[in-house]
Every structure is written in C-alpha cells, then in structure tokens.
C-alpha cells in the first residue's frame, strides 16, 4: 500500500507528493514516528510539526 506523510506546522501543510510503499498500516505508523523523530532532532523550527499519514485508495475497492 502507498502511504503519504504530510508535514503540518503553524504555517500550513507541506504535502507529500511522492509517498512511500509500506507493508501495512502499522509499518506506515512506524515510518511516521521515524519522520517525527527526525524532525524533532532537526531543531527548534520543526519541533512543533505534526506528521499526517494518508493512504492511497485501493483502485479495486468498491467503497
């Protein structure tokens, strides 16, 4: 499944236009936590950021 990891802060949302393939939702959450940890280490400017996770819809799904 392809997931997208958008970064939101007080200035707005930086959309992830590429995404990443993850085995499942748990793997996507682990990746989001990793991204959030990297942002926290990047400095004061990024510490207020939030990682929003979205999943690409399954084209074979009927819902």
pTM: 0.81
Backbone angles phi, psi at 53, to 5 degrees: -110, 130
**Of 17, 1, 16, 2, residue with least CA distance to 50:** 16
Please report, in tens digits, the pLDDT of each residue of the chain (63 residues total): 999 999 998 889 999 999 999 999 999 999 999 999 998 888 776 777 899 999 988 777 665
Residue-level pLDDT at 61: 66
29-43 exposure pattern, b = at least 16 Cβ within 10 A, e = fewer: eebbeebbeebeeee
Average pLDDT score over the chain? 89
């Amino acid at each position: 499944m392809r997931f997208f990891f958008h970064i939101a802060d007080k200035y707005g949302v930086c959309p992830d236009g590429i995404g990443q393939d993850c085995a499942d939702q748990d793997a996507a959450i682990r990746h989001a936590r990793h991204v959030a940890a990297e942002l926290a280490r990047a400095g004061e400017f990024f510490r207020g950021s939030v990682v929003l996770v979205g999943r690409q819809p399954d084209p074979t799904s009927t819902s």
